[in-house]
Chain A
């Protein structure tokens, strides 16, 4: 039997203690003591003793060794990372040109892509800034026959109260109705958009107040004291943050309202309303037909839109069946609020176009980066070969390549974020006054994340993968291959693809942007409108509700104001007009149908000249709208006489399809205003005017005499909104002067707007301007990136052709032949990609033309312009590299190898 301790324990100890130091001696000493102890106390005690000794010695030794090893490893890694970083820095510095191009290209790409994506996200996709916004829905009355041609007619107060009381699918429901009203601040009337809101709205929207309280349900009750809640913006601009504003009594449309609260800055209203009053409809507005409200609700937890729609439908069917006095066919529907708001913000085609353009720019930036990095790796093949030959590990080379790519992507990303926040800051400042409260534009982490991820993946893939391929060749081959100054055909092809992709994308983008700019130019040519627009001022006046609702007082007001305006030294003539909105406008219960004399039925709603107007004497002269037959509205059309009208050509065709212009003179039609009706006789036919937002679409119009048309004929506008157009010579008078002048007639009249007609028209075409501007920005960016890309590709190619160029020059090649040799391949790629891009632009353009706005692919002109511009960019990008190629000294280039 062995007199030794367990072999396992001995082996364990031998492994734990350091070899060669006192370790071996220790093993011997322990054995010696073990043997002695075993002799004295027996095997059991000796074994236990030995086990204890092994553990108490081995564990601290093992721990110490582990600590030392990890410290070594960390130190080594730190040293390695430091070394890698130093190599990375050196590598980037060595090819400073490529580094600079890559960072510029990336920062522009990332910056503008992020900015535009954030805008698109804010307008069309970002969650609404309200609690449980994903469950919020828009609820509205609908009619099967789509009387208003798919428009939303609004909802009646009666329906709102029914739904609030009876429907269980909503855990909150609120109504609002905003319009411009006159708010007296001090002794000055101001036209302010004020929303009448139900008391439930504050809770639904999670409203916070800066001072006082929001509108409550009690404020809606009959007989409640009228109260006013100011929006934060109005409180700051009109009350200079006055903390004592609570309790002040302000007149809204001449009715005193007590200020009870100021909304918090963070509260985003649903529309552009700057103040709130309580929803307090009059008796007439309690009818189911008075559809003037916007109703929003929040689905109860666990309910979906389909269930809500089922309940709304069943409920409406039961209600209309129970009450035969109601017009049948009406129902109601709920739609996700975010979708409804997105739709209202702009046609989806605009979002799609901008988004596609943004993606293309990002794609071009990534392709550009790929080409630059690929060129860089190829240039460094020789360096790689040398490094590998002198023992650098492949791991280190890959690490350095990844680090370089990451450094480029991060630098580009950081500068890009600065570009994004600066450009977004500018844009949002511009937009704040025109966008509704729910629209906010914080830089979205998902947007930044996606953009960054795309760039990072491109950078790492294109900076690293070619290098992995380079490892397939032996160090010697790598050195010889690049010493000869050649590059593989496969790599050249890869470059061609990248360049071609950039060019093709550039053509599509450019064609879209040229089309957008051409559309903008066409709609901004106001000569096509068919009326005068220069040297004219337009003033919109809002009168106190009910004060000028009879014909005589309205006529007196118009006469007095006209005289005052014409007495102004800058004004040579003044005319007045007022909108006369004919047809049903979606509300089948309160329509203003037009009846042609002798016809059995009213003029169909879809062809009725909706945008008609009542005008004063001199309207056609001042606006230079030609009269084609008969006469214009003049002084003979006085109150009490036969009511006259002038029909535009389009309106005459709509009302009397079978008659030519002269035949409609003397014909009669009736406007049925519900409570009253009025007959008009056509005395003239005028030329058509064009809708400002379209290239050719005419607006059929009937012009009645302002003096003869009852102000309440169509009865839809509680305040009497009168528009004056003034013929102005010389500089524009100060708006304050207009206010003083109007106050002489009635101090309660507010100026809704004062602007030039030209400026007003420009506001009509804001969408086109914005679209053209954004598309121009994006395509300029793409062109810039393309310029960098072509320049980089060509520079790279010339660098790899130095040897060949040297030989060609030595053999007596002419400059022309050299240029062909250098640019031949690029030119072929350019031509091919241009063709592919042009072909792709045609279907893309056709898709855009199907939309509401003519945005892209505007036929051969846009495409030719785009192609020409790209060719120019191509030639520009070639200039510097070609000059460099021509300057190559054959002796130097051959010596260098």
Chain B
């Protein structure tokens, strides 16, 4: 089966979820991503990307029962699915190969 293609933001979101292994809620994902990548991320863009990743089967989530302060809405904690893991690995391999090839020019 052909691997799902992902964009840069989706790639970063997957990595962030993996980094937040103890509880990757959307709020935390955004906070980490903004601080690590030093870029602003709107909530709309984040949630749409999460939706897309879900549709592609690259993430999954656990729900925490709704609470009153959340207006009765459940909270989600995101996980990278097995397919998502494959995609992330494959992307890393690609990047490593390319980095290796460019090392002579870029140094380090």
Contacts and interface: CB of A to CB of B under 8 A. Distances in A.
Contacts of A61: 44, 48
Contact of A28 (B44, B50, B70): B70
A32 B43 CA distance: 14
A636 interface: no
Interface in B41-64: 42-44, 47-48, 50-51, 54
Interface in B28-78: 42-44, 47-48, 50-51, 54, 66, 69-76
Contacts of B72: 28
A64 interface: yes
Interface residues of B, number: 20
Interface residues of A, dominant DSSP: helix
B26 interface: yes
B67 to A, nearest CB: 8
B25 interface: yes
Contact of B48 (A27, A28, A30, A64): A64
A136 B1 CA distance: 82
Contacts of B76: 22, 25
B48 A24 contact: no
Interface string A622-664: 0000000000000000000000000000000000000000000
Contact of B74 (A4, A21, A24, A60): A24
A53 interface: yes
B54 A24 contact: no
B42 A25 contact: no
B43 A30 contact: yes
A56 B44 contact: yes
Nearest to A10: B71
Contact of B26 (A10, A25, A31): A25
Given A4-B71, A21-B54, A27-B73, A33 B27 contact: yes
Contact of B71 (A18, A28, A33): A28
Given A31-B70, A61-B48, A64-B48, A26 B43 contact: yes
Contacts of B50: 22
B26 A22 contact: yes
Contact of A31 (B42, B43, B71): B71
A24 B51 CA distance: 12
Contact of B43 (A10, A56, A64): A56
Contacts of B71: 4, 10, 27-28, 31
Interface in A674-730: none
B75 A28 contact: yes
B85 to A, nearest CB: 20
Nearest to A60: B44
Contacts of B54: 21-22
A33 B46 CA distance: 15
A350 interface: no
Interface residues of A, number: 24
A338 B47 CA distance: 76
A53 B71 CA distance: 17
Contact of A29 (B26, B44, B66): B26
B43 A57 contact: yes
B51 A21 contact: yes
Contact of A32 (B27, B44, B48): B27
A195 interface: no
Nearest to A25: B76
B69 A18 contact: no
A27 B66 CA distance: 11
B47 A57 contact: yes
B21 to A, nearest CB: 19
Contacts of B25: 29
A739 interface: no
Contacts of B26: 22, 25-26, 29
B51 A22 contact: yes
Interface string A1-18: 000100000100000011
Contacts of B51: 18, 21-22
A25 B43 contact: no
A56 B73 CA distance: 20
Nearest to A58: B44
A32 B47 contact: no
Given A21-B54, A57-B43, A31 B48 contact: no
A886 to B, nearest CB: 69
A49 to B, nearest CB: 11
B43 A60 contact: no
A58 to B, nearest CB: 8
Nearest to A23: B47
24 contacts: A21-B51, A22-B26, A22-B47, A22-B51, A25-B75, A25-B76, A26-B26, A26-B43, A27-B71, A27-B73, A28-B66, A28-B71, A28-B72, A28-B73, A28-B75, A29-B26, A29-B27, A31-B70, A31-B73, A53-B43, A56-B42, A56-B43, A60-B48, A61-B48
Given A17-B47, A31-B71, A53-B43, 4 more contacts: A24-B74, A28-B70, A57-B42, A60-B44
Interface of A: 4, 10, 17-18, 21-33, 35, 53, 56-57, 60-61, 64
The 6 closest A-B pairs by CB, nearest first: A28-B73, A28-B70, A57-B44, A25-B76, A31-B71, A24-B73
